[in-house]
Amino acid sequence: MTAHQTLPHGSWPTPITSEVVVRAAARLGEVVVDGDDVWWAEGRPSEGGRTVLVRRSPDGTTTDLLPAPWNARTRVHEYGGGAWTVAAGTVWFTSYADQRLYRVDPGSTEPVAVTPEPAFPAGVRFADLSADGDGVLAVRETHSPGGAAADVVHEVVRIAADGTTEVLVSGPDFVSDPRREPGGPALAFLRWDHPDMPWDAAQLVVRDGAGGEHVIAGGQGESVVQPVWGADATLWWLGDRTDVWSLYRRRPHGEAELVLDVGSDIAGPQWVFGQSRFDLTDDGRVVLAYGRDGADRLAVLDGDGAVRELPSEHASFGQVRAAGDAVVCVAGGPASEPVVLRVALADGRAEVLRPARDLGVDPAWFSRPVHVTFPTEPGPSGVAEAHALVYPPTNPEVAAPDGELPPLLVLVHGGPTAAARSVLDLGVQYWTSRGFAVADVDYRGSTGYGRRYRQALTGQWGIADLDDVVACARYLSSGDGPAGLRVDPARMAIRGGSAGGYTTLAALTFRPGVFAAGASHYGVADLAALAADTHSFESRYLDGLIAPWPEGAAVYAERSPIHATDALDTPLAVFQGDEDEVVPPAQAEMMVAALRAKGVPHAYVLFAGEQHGFRKGENIRTALDGELSFYAQVLGFPLPTEEGITPITVVR
């Protein structure tokens, strides 16, 4: 191919195919530093999405611990996290197959069951594991046969090596982060009750050796994240009483004190267990990551109170763990997929412990995001701006015909408290290298901009988020985008999964005429059905986002896309897993039935064996290529012939 071949936007040939997107890809999960060993988790789509534990020894060799079919993954809260831990070489993990707790002793590779087989499949689940002497602390989630979400019980338990289980905390609707004071009897943990979510009002509680409980921080108007004990029994945490999640501590017998407020969120929302955005070094320093203007910084808080940023080419940091005179973390950047990285605290010298896969793609193919802030409708909150990461079309070998504007793909993240990240995502580059502009929108309710911005979505889901995605699309189609980027107002599409799927469906029904196409991945169509039929963790979530249920049933109906299909005349592709318990398949099928009845062009793909989010490589490929094929048919551009993409069936 000669350089600068001229082809219409959307049809540009690219090496970033769906096969490359999933090939040998691994989702890097939790990181644990155990002595001189570094452990991490890898979710591997090429192996059916199973999570493998990997150990890196001091000599640099890496070893997989769990052979197939073992899968270290928990279903607590349905989103999981904290499914494993390591202490002195002993590995504890929850097996996805039966949700029982298993142990692997040093020198062994054979998991041994610790907890008994539950009375029915996945009836008892374990998460948020933390070493405690010769046993572990865990969050235990207990279900009853055929029980409703309200019947699920969450407790903090201690499990000994022989399986003996002691209930330490029972009563709150939800608990997390059980952490034992080093060398002492005190236990710290987080708790919250319906209808709050943990980012609304989680309390930090310390239970002393006599059984007395003391609320240290959190509650109405404040949320606490990630309690960590220091060696001197000082308790550290992240709290948002100053609007942003900032660093606090409480010395023994002292009062809570603010240590560091960087002006932006250090923490993120606790959708999954086991997250870490800061850690304590042996010599009393704090290593931490925080976001600003769409990118993370990695920093050290020295003993004198000075904050020192560590230079890095990366722009996203998670699983921050102290390791001697270094920090180990999962890091990624605009031109790098996530890696496990060790960074020296003295000079920022970085060593990659687990490299990203070799893509065989020149970085010239990668679109670099630009963080933008744009005006939007203020609404009741008074917040009148929103944010996005904008990716321009990028292809070093192809140019568009003179005067042709690129189509825009608006990405709506889930949560809705998630956030756009400045990390190389081949799922985004798949589109930009074909000639799409992409806007990853941090609509109001997103994390990273403080509590006020996050709570601007309170009671406004289906309103504020719609205002923001529409405002972003119009901002970019007006020519006000970064570096003069202007997109084609007649070819703007919107896509999202889960909560992002709801906003996608709502945009097409309640704001017709803005977008020319959409794609919903396991998105919500009927808010009342979601409120009445979802899992325990989110069973009261909509009380805050929309209105108390069932008292606010009229509001739910008013904002449900399924009740506004008379206004739906925009082509839509729908992708769904048949085992999804967060957004059951009936949600997707109600919308598809309405599309069919109206004769609106649409496509529907139901994936067997998938839950909330697709994990199998072949299904990820089918969804990605199918969505491209759908847009090609409804927006009017040819598919790249080199890739052999099978066109999706569009029902008209």
Tokens 């070998």: give the residue.
397
Q: Where a domain ends, among 489, 520, 550?
A: 489
Tokens of 585: 């398949």
CATH number where 385 lies: 3.40.50.1820
- Rounded to the nearest 5 degrees, what angle is found at the Cα of 622, between the Cα atoms of 620 and 623? 65
- Whole-number Cα distances in Å, 484 to 12, 365, 383, 390, 477: 22, 20, 26, 12, 10
Same domain, 505 and 550: yes
* Omega prior to 416 cis, within 30 of 0: yes
Same domain, 478 and 536: no
Model pLDDT, residue 3: 54
Dihedral angle of Cα 224, 230, 232, 235, to the nearest 10 degrees: 0
The residue segments making up the domain with residue 326 are 276-358
What distance, in Å, lies between the first and last C-alpha atoms of the chain?
36
Q: Where a domain ends, among 246, 275, 304?
A: 275
**Other C-beta atoms lying within 10 Å of the C-beta of residue 246:** 22
Q: Is 24 within the bounds of a domain? A: no
Q: Is 19 within the bounds of a domain? A: no
- Whole-prediction pTM: 0.92
Model pLDDT, residue 45: 79
Alpha-carbon distance of 202 to 204, in angstroms, equals 7
Which tens digit of pLDDT belongs to each residue from 321-368? 999 999 999 999 999 899 999 999 999 999 999 999 888 899 999 999
Which tens digit of pLDDT belongs to each residue from 7-44? 999 999 999 999 999 886 789 999 999 999 999 999 98
DSSP string, 456-483: GGTTTTTTHHHHHHHHHHHHHHTT-SGG
Tokens of 245: 């999640």
Same domain, 588 and 636: yes
Q: Is 449 within the bounds of a domain? A: yes
Same domain, 505 and 478: no
pLDDT band at residue 581 under the 50/70/90 scheme = confident
Q: What is the DSSP letter of 455?
A: G
Residues above pLDDT 70, as percent of the chain: 99
Same domain, 237 and 327: no
Q: Which residues contact 365 (CB under 8 A, 6 or more apart)?
A: 14, 15, 16, 394, 395, 396, 429, 433
Same domain, 445 and 523: no
Same domain, 244 and 107: yes
Q: Is 3 within the bounds of a domain? A: no
Same domain, 464 and 596: no
Same domain, 98 and 113: yes
pLDDT of residue 152 exceeding 90:
yes
Q: What is the mean pLDDT of residues 406-426?
A: 93
3-state secondary structure at position 572? strand
- The strand pair at 153-159 and 165-169 is best described as antiparallel
Which tens digit of pLDDT belongs to each residue from 69-105? 999 999 999 999 999 999 999 999 999 999 999 999 9
How many domains does the chain fold into?
A: 4
Model pLDDT, residue 467: 97
3-state secondary structure at position 48? coil
Q: Where a domain ends, among 464, 489, 514?
A: 489
CATH number where 156 lies: 2.130.10.10
pLDDT band at residue 1 under the 50/70/90 scheme = very low
Which tens digit of pLDDT belongs to each residue from 529-580? 888 878 899 999 999 999 999 999 999 999 999 899 888 899 999 999 999 8
Which tens digit of pLDDT belongs to each residue from 97-123? 999 999 999 989 899 999 999 988 889
pLDDT band at residue 2 under the 50/70/90 scheme = low
Same domain, 565 and 575: yes
Burial (CB < 10 A; 0-12, 13-18, 19+), residue 652, is: exposed
**Other C-beta atoms lying within 10 Å of the C-beta of residue 430:** 21
Alpha-carbon distance of 576 to 626, in angstroms, equals 13
Same domain, 45 and 188: yes
Q: Is 12 within the bounds of a domain? A: no
Q: Is 14 within the bounds of a domain? A: no
Residue type, 359: L
User: Bridge partners of 229?
Assistant: 235
Q: Is 344 within the bounds of a domain? A: yes
Q: Is 135 within the bounds of a domain? A: yes
Same domain, 138 and 245: yes
Higher pLDDT, 167 or 23: 167
